[in-house]
Structure 1
Amino acid sequence: MINMLRKLRSDFPAEYSACVFDAKGKTFRDDLYPAYKEHRPSMPEDLAKQIEPIHEAVRALGWPIVVVEGVEADDVIGTLARRATAEGMRTVVSTGDKDLAQLVDGHVTLVNTMSGEILDPPGVAAKFGVPPARIVDYLSLIGDAVDNVPGVPKVGPKTAVKWLTEYGTLDDVMANAPGIKGVVGENLRNTLAWLPKARELVTVKTDCDLTSSLADFHRLEGGSEDKDKLIDFFARYGFKTWLREATGESLPNPRAQARASAAPPAAGGAAAGADAGPAQGGLFDSAPAPAQIRYETVATEAALEAWMRRIETAPLVSIDTETTSLEPLQAQLVGISLSIEPGEACYIPVAHRGPDVVGLEAYGQLTREAVLARMRAWLEDPSRGKVGQNLKYDSHVFANHGVSLRGIVHDTMLQSYVLASHRNHGMDSLAERLLGLKTISYEEVCGKGASQIGFDQIDIARATEYAAEDADVTLRLHRNMYPQVEALPGVHYVYEKIEMPVSVVLQKIERNGVLIDAERLGAQSTQLGQRMLTLEQAAYEAAGQPFNLGSPKQIGEILFGQMKLPVVKKTASGAPSTDEEVLQKLAEDYPLPKLLLDYRGLAKLKSTYTDKLPKMVNPATGRVHTSYGQTTAVTGRLASTEPNLQNIPVRTEEGRRIREAFIAGPGNVIVSADYSQIELRIMAHISGDENLMRSFAEGEDVHRATAAEIFGVAPDAVSSEQRRYAKVINFGLIYGMSAFGLAGNLGIEREAAKHYIDRYFMRYPGVARYMEETRQTAREQGFVETVFGRRLWLPDINGGNGPRRQGAERAAINAPMQGTAADLIKLSMIAVQDWLERDGLGTRQVMQVHDELVLEVPQAELERVKVKLPELMCNVAELRVPLVAEVGSGSNWEEAH
């Protein structure tokens, strides 16, 4: 179980996590049906003895334990999943229980850590023959022998699927029972009175009365395991390998992560694709394998000299590192692998250790200091070309030892990304797809679970096979993909002029980090807690009684049972919903829902930011060092992780105050530069609409101009409310908003919303034309492009179901705007860094957030930066409308806005 929990956390990193156990005693289902689970044998004595140690281990691993009397663990899981969905989160449920397939939807996925099976909605349909919404009906018909819930006699999965496919729902099957022939038809008719009870028994409750809120399950990034408790636990129960690891053994090598990285998660407003089926556009083809493989261990000065002579004259060298940690700024070098020809590579071990490592005596091992001293000149030579897989990481590793890796000219991860951003860019996946090669996995070399060891403990010969293969395969992948990149001018431009150079800039920004005022965050956390107590008391007064603000059941009883507020919608179990959407609707007319929303918002701010950020400060620098993922979002946008600095809320005063804790060092100020209305300007450029271009060219307030046209008034007569409507329409339509969506957003009738959209397209006919042409282009070629030629693939544009296809059509319209904005900000980062280094300034880029650059600027350079920064940002590209960048400064990030 410890292995499973650790693997789950490694494979599916989550901000919130909980481990749910069944409570002792009866549940509501026993009251419904006394024979429920009566055939199930009691727990074996040997297993019962492990319950308390298991709970102890789970807590030490950092998993909150949840046990709720009167319901089953499944019901608690269902309730937590629905709450998370209401908060806009995605949920992974680790289970082997088929009953929980009923929870699966676009937000909830099942993972079986025993079998490796992952079930999303298509996966559920493929496994059971019915979609998640019909799982309850399916289980009602076939019954559950394990829980002693009878179904229809003689009806198995095939018959159940057949009936549900033919008739629709369980109710429809029951309604059509008189016409179903044969023995099964008779059995169905004899079971009609029972089926509603069966359905109630197999339905997972999603509205349990929980004393906990989601905030209680927040996990600290950087690790929430209690090391001291784990050491004590491992020592007490004789887990020697885990004990050795916990007391100082090396962490698993991060190349395992780079080699087998998962497909990019959905981000940037477009769906991410899995690796099923051929690549879009036939971009990837297999390549012939080399005639022979020669991998060498370099363990003597003579062998190192021989390889140095080779790489010092080679036009391009593949390089890779093996290390001790997944954390870029903490990883220590264990070895270096090199390749200059396919099938030929070497591994230079520099920090393998311990008496159990085979080969240290036979091979010997050069010291890390000696190898880096000999290689430094080549590593730091910008004229010596290097290729690698995610070299941003390797650059950090070398920088940790005082070496600045230069000459990075190619990166196979980025080549894969620009060719097909929706695919998997891990080396193992690329090797199998493009080269037909099954590479050595990290687990094959280091073991897995409790027996896994660090790479620095690996036998030298085995380490050479694995590490040299990294460099060899990377070189072969480059030779496969780069010709394809070169053959597509737009893709080549994005790769050579945007992705490759910005990767180098991102590495510098990550190392710069941003200074955090932990004391201020602590004070804000205290204030948020006090404000939450005030809101709690106000909620008690509004309700006329105390209640648990984190309990949907209690909230529902008060809002709908006692206060008789209108029911907006219901949960899957039929209870009135109390999710955020419902509370927002009710808050328009009633005070208590507004108080509940305010409380939830503050609780999220406290747990996610004010409590968490101080714990993520690097003690050596006093700064937070985020990691920017280049290949996560299909649109080209960067993704900030550990911590995520891009989702700090700014729409509330409390949210904006969090940015006050991002400060400048002594003698410095924070400068923020933000593109103004960038996506609307890109829409004007791409669509070529004359009225929209003229508004921007003449410096008009584009929202006011739109309002004047839609409402038929002079620009100076436009009211603030009319301008707000126009702003929603301007931005909503570039995200593919429908009349229905606009009506909901503005709180108006659908016909009125349709009228406004019609008037908008009369004012901007070029925009309407662009939208229709883009949909058609996307259907024909499967992708759309940014202004610079970045390809944005839309796998569902032709093959998805209705909602997914409609989502792909909306993405087709918006992706060129969002992708072009991403390209522009990356070009700006490159231009700014070039200027700072060329002029020898002390100013540093410290963050990139959406369309904004954040810099830490010495006071003496402030005026110079404030003049030059918008000039650079506005001149990285020439569009048909002017680009505008607004610049501000202050002692902290919030003041700079």
Structure 2
Amino acid sequence: MPKLILIDGSSYLYRAFHALPPLSNSQGEPTGALFGIVNMLRATLKAKPDYVAFVSDAPGPTFRNALYELYKANRPPMPDDLRAQVEPMLAIVSALGFPILRVDGVEADDVIGTLTEEACVQGIEVEISTSDKDLAQLVRPGVQLVNTMTNTTTDTAGVVEKFGVQPSQIIDFLTLTGDTVDNVPGVPKCGPKTAAKWLAEYGNLDNLMANADKVGGKIGESLRAALPQLPLSRQLVTIKTDVSLDLPVTGLTPRDKHVDELRELFRRYEFKAALKDLEAEAAASSGEGAAAEAPASPPAPAIVELEADIPALNMQGQYELVTTQAQLDHWLAKIANAPLIAFDTETTSIDSMQADIVGLSLSVEPGHACYVPLTHDYPGAPAQLPRDQVLAALKPIFEDPNRPKLGQHAKYDINILSHYGIVVQGLKHDSMLESYVWNATATRHDMDSLARKYLGYETIKYEEVAGKGAKQIAFSQVDCDTACRYAAEDADITLRLHHALWPKLESAPSLRSVYENIEIPLVPVLASMEQRGVLIDVNNLRTQSQQLGKRMLELQQEAWKGLGREFSLDSPKQLQAILFDELGLPAKLKTPTGQPSTNEEALEAIADDHPLPRLILDYRGLAKLRSTYTDKLAEIVNPRTGRVHTSYHQGAVATGRVSSSDPNLQNIPVRTEEGRRIRQAFVAPDGWVVLAADYSQIELRIMAHLSGDEGLLKAFHEGGDVHRATAAEVFGLAPEQVSANQRRAAKAINFGLMYGMSAFGLARQLGVDRGEASDYMARYFARYPGVHAFMDATRQQAHRDGYVETLFGRRLYLENLTSRNQALRAGAERAAVNAPMQGTAADIIKRAMIAVHGWLGQRNDDAHMLMQVHDELVFEVRKDAVDEVRAGVIERMSGAAQLSVPLLVEAGVGTNWDEAH
């Protein structure tokens, strides 16, 4: 079938404007929205549609404004930065060869609806490129919505999945829910779930209106009150399909590009990748290039910021499937003499501690790589070299520290190879960490995202070779030729990313130091911790689960007794009705659909108004402990090792912190007795003990060092209770005269300031009025002026440079410092103050881990580092080595940084983690 692509230009203009940072060219002209639109259009052209149109709203009122004077009345005027991009957008769209449709008196949706209707009559398939939910009413067989910014497609089944109704019911659905953005009145308190439920029961709006008296409760009252205006709302949300147009669908063929005009526009707005592609196309069409013989270039992504302008880094690769000894010998010779070896493994699972290897890929030159299949076992699979024979040949190279290696998230591959007796040494680079250190917030750091951003290259996705969902096959079942294209590309792209990213780090000495001295040396440390795992007392956990279940039952019965009947504490819908309709408690927070929220923050806000919210919070807290830890930990014990193996993540937290998952060790609560009890299940084997070493008030000590405040430095050097000393300064008392409440206030200020706490936040935490909290803060800054000066200087640096730095030179970029949204801007300023402390703390504990790991490696296997949780390191130590190991750990943790105040480390020992902490 011929295909028509309709681009909802108005929708994408706003989406691109808000999705991208406020980009501008060297002349200061805004380009963010324009950049997003241009790349989306380039991707559309590569799809080679038969017919295409760029549809945009015309200026001026529409027929809907005549129907309802308040239609879109609440919409703010178009931002100046966006308005400035409209005309250049239309100029580029036209020069690219897209027919542009703007019709007075109607909206872009109505033009799209009319063209869709006409195309369907003529048997033309329609793809509507949009993010506008209203256009879901046009979906039917042969018509689908495509959101190129999220790479999602919505057909009839997708509409049902997303909205809970058929496309034919979308108009009625939108009528009931209303639209706050367009100021279309709906039924008050009717959210998407209620609207879908009504339409499932009554079929359509007319039937619902006819039976409105049968709908009970307050929502029924809202429905009946809204009946008079629902017909108008239906008119407003209904897309016209009979707009008079100058061009028929078949007249919307793509035009030839106006190359000279495009060249001028791309140069003016500094779209280097687009200009590069344009010049290549022009050269090919003029006979200067063999376009017919060149491999197809990957499609341009919808929104991408190309940062690499390096020849050959986005070319198509040449990959070799290695199945013979001669081929393997050839590659062994290549990697033996290579300055850098990129490697990657294909496996049976994303869990590196349970996965088996399926194959291995290598690359030493951008654009060239090989894949060595080891255990592909589908019918008709080619003969493969024996796995053990291949790994034995590679082992000396992988274990040679003088042969530099490169990976993308290499820790995973190091763990995989460890199952086969290979201890990888000589890891020189990791493209994931190069990107993370260069700019932690610029993009996600997975290979697909990095290739798109830094190479302008679309990688083959796993689902493309193995399928997805229930139909996904194991990688060992993928045919070897297809597997080669996918797997060899991984090694090749890893090498290309290194060539794009390493020059950036070389240009920034402080970032290069963070990368070479902290992040890369940490990889084998984390790998070793993951491989060791931690011993869990499963019986202890089962007992805890039973105790938690008993306490949850008691809380449930207490809640039932208070209300006088049974209900589900796990049902947000029932809780919503009970708390806000029946008990009349204030709904202080709303869900995105406008319903009263029952999340933790909402319940905390009303916990003092009635006993039930606190009972629900306590019940949920116990339920989470049970599902996340006491039940789950026992289930994830590795059958190979009898231990639990968490996964540590280096590239996930912008400030440099290491996070963990499966299980998430960072989130085990320690403020409740039930939470602390979970640590009792982390035990040591017979003859060993658990040692836990923790930095004391590390971020506050870093604040003292970075601010250089004399009062704070003095408090730490005197070695007493720093919070009591602070209270004495703030309240003008001798330390022994400080009350418990005054110390609590000082502690809240000490820690709150690092997180940008306002007087309002301090007042809420201390339970005092805002004026008293403001007075506390004023006195604090008067006694510690260096802290105030440091905070001001940090904010100024952030606004000047766009980033702040840790003590060791790690950068945190803060794009929202220039946001038009005041709340986002204020949040970025708070992050700017906190990031140097939190980031420096992260760097310090990473440096400590590297030092301790190196020292333990020289010992007689009498201690192992098991876990890193916030500012704490946890070890398994043989009983006869405890004193020596504790002293050595404290020495190296204390020496991980030279601050102007002591780095205090406290260490404890016990049969389990709780005892040791």
| Secondary structure in 2 matching 1:789 | coil
- How much has 1:647 moved relative to structure 2? 0.3
Distance 1:477 1:314 in 2: 17
Please report the TM-score for the alignment, with normalisation by the length of structure 1.
Answer: 0.69
1:833-872 → structure 2 map (5 Å cutoff): 833-872=853-892
Deviations 1:807-863 (A, max 9, x none): 111111111111111111111111111000012332111111111101111111111
1:49-68 → structure 2 map (5 Å cutoff): none
Q: Which amino acid aligns with 2:184?
A: Y
* Aligned match of 2:395: 376
| Secondary structure in 2 matching 1:624 | coil
Pairing partner for 1:650 from 656, 670, 680:
670
Q: Which amino acid aligns with 1:140?
A: G
* Aligned match of 1:411: 430
| Secondary structure in 1 matching 2:557 | helix
Q: Which amino acid aligns with 1:407?
A: G
Deviations 1:606-639 (A, max 9, x none): 2222122111111222211110111111111111
- How much has 1:532 moved relative to structure 2? 1.9
Deviations 1:614-670 (A, max 9, x none): 111112222111101111111111111111111011111111111111111111111
Distance 1:301 1:549 in 2: 64
* Aligned match of 2:280: none
Q: Which amino acid aligns with 1:438?
A: E
Residue 479 (1) aligns with residue 525 (2): no
Q: Which amino acid aligns with 1:415?
A: E
8 Å contact kept, 1:675–1:883? yes
Distance 1:385 1:567 in 2: 60
- How much has 1:451 moved relative to structure 2? 4.8
| Secondary structure in 2 matching 1:651 | coil
Identify unmatched segments of 5+ residues in structure 2.
1-130, 138-148, 163-173, 207-225, 238-300
Distance 2:764 2:397 in 1: 61
* Cα 1:96/1:192, change in 2 over 3 Å: closer
* Aligned match of 1:55: none
Pairing partner for 2:367 from 336, 339, 343:
343
* Aligned match of 1:217: none
Pairing partner for 2:325 from 284, 290, 301:
301
* Aligned match of 1:70: none
Identify unmatched segments of 5+ residues in structure 1.
1-94, 102-108, 120-127, 151-190, 203-273
Pairing partner for 2:782 from 762, 771, 783:
762
* Aligned match of 2:485: 465
Between stretches 496-505 and 312-321, larger displacement belongs to 312-321
8 Å contact kept, 1:149–1:198? no
Distance 1:619 1:613 in 2: 13
* Cα 1:539/1:460, change in 2 over 3 Å: closer
Q: Which amino acid aligns with 2:543?
A: A
| Secondary structure in 2 matching 1:339 | strand
- How much has 1:568 moved relative to structure 2? 5.9
Distance 1:291 1:520 in 2: 56
Distance 2:375 2:641 in 1: 26
- How much has 1:453 moved relative to structure 2? 2.9
* Aligned match of 2:731: 711
1:107-506 → structure 2 map (5 Å cutoff): 114=154, 134=180, 137-138=183-184, 140=186, 148-149=204-205, 193-195=228-230, 278=305, 285-289=309-313, 293-357=317-381, 360=382, 364-422=383-441, 423-449=443-469, 451-506=471-526
- How much has 1:788 moved relative to structure 2? 0.6
- How much has 1:716 moved relative to structure 2? 1.2
Distance 1:672 1:655 in 2: 17
- How much has 1:534 moved relative to structure 2? 2.2
- How much has 1:328 moved relative to structure 2? 0.6
- How much has 1:727 moved relative to structure 2? 0.6
* Aligned match of 2:823: 803
- How much has 1:682 moved relative to structure 2? 0.8
Distance 2:676 2:481 in 1: 55
- How much has 1:556 moved relative to structure 2? 6.4
8 Å contact kept, 2:378–2:478? no
- How much has 1:805 moved relative to structure 2? 1.1
| Secondary structure in 1 matching 2:720 | coil
* Cα 1:355/1:875, change in 2 over 3 Å: same
- How much has 1:768 moved relative to structure 2? 1.0
Q: Which amino acid aligns with 2:367?
A: G
| Secondary structure in 1 matching 2:915 | coil
Deviations 1:169-213 (A, max 9, x none): xxxxxxxxxxxxxxxxxxxxxx994259979x99xxxxxxxxxxx
Distance 1:800 1:434 in 2: 27
Deviations 1:502-531 (A, max 9, x none): 111001100111111111111111111112
Between stretches 341-350 and 633-642, larger displacement belongs to 341-350
Pairing partner for 2:657 from 634, 637, 660:
637
Pairing partner for 2:840 from 813, 816, 820:
820
* Cα 1:373/1:798, change in 2 over 3 Å: same
Distance 2:581 2:354 in 1: 55
Distance 2:822 2:437 in 1: 28
Distance 2:554 2:696 in 1: 38
Higher Cα Rg, which structure: 2
* Aligned match of 1:531: 551
Q: Which amino acid aligns with 1:875?
A: G
8 Å contact kept, 1:491–1:791? yes
* Aligned match of 1:49: none
8 Å contact kept, 2:348–2:474? yes
| Secondary structure in 2 matching 1:838 | coil
* Aligned match of 1:781: 801
Pairing partner for 2:642 from 596, 614, 622:
622
8 Å contact kept, 1:648–1:655? yes
Distance 1:634 1:768 in 2: 25
8 Å contact kept, 2:304–2:453? no
* Cα 1:501/1:194, change in 2 over 3 Å: same
- How much has 1:462 moved relative to structure 2? 3.0
8 Å contact kept, 1:286–1:436? no
Distance 1:524 1:407 in 2: 44
* Cα 1:853/1:96, change in 2 over 3 Å: farther
| Secondary structure in 2 matching 1:345 | strand
Distance 1:344 1:762 in 2: 64
Residue 600 (1) aligns with residue 620 (2): yes
| Secondary structure in 2 matching 1:321 | strand
- How much has 1:384 moved relative to structure 2? 1.2
| Secondary structure in 2 matching 1:857 | strand
Pairing partner for 1:509 from 529, 544, 547:
529
* Cα 1:608/1:448, change in 2 over 3 Å: closer
Q: Which amino acid aligns with 1:396?
A: N
| Secondary structure in 2 matching 1:622 | coil
Deviations 1:522-572 (A, max 9, x none): 111111111222223333444444444345566567667777777766778
Distance 1:571 1:298 in 2: 55
* Cα 1:448/1:557, change in 2 over 3 Å: closer
8 Å contact kept, 1:356–1:457? no
* Cα 1:431/1:606, change in 2 over 3 Å: closer
Q: Which amino acid aligns with 1:134?
A: T
8 Å contact kept, 2:317–2:489? no
* Aligned match of 2:267: none
Greater RCO, CA 8 A, separation 6+: 1
* Aligned match of 1:680: 700
8 Å contact kept, 1:275–1:424? no
Between stretches 371-380 and 673-682, larger displacement belongs to 371-380
* Aligned match of 1:896: 916
* Cα 1:467/1:567, change in 2 over 3 Å: closer
| Secondary structure in 1 matching 2:489 | helix
Distance 2:596 2:485 in 1: 60
- How much has 1:356 moved relative to structure 2? 3.5
Identical aligned residues as a percent: 53
| Secondary structure in 1 matching 2:371 | strand
CA RMSD of aligned residues (A): 3.6
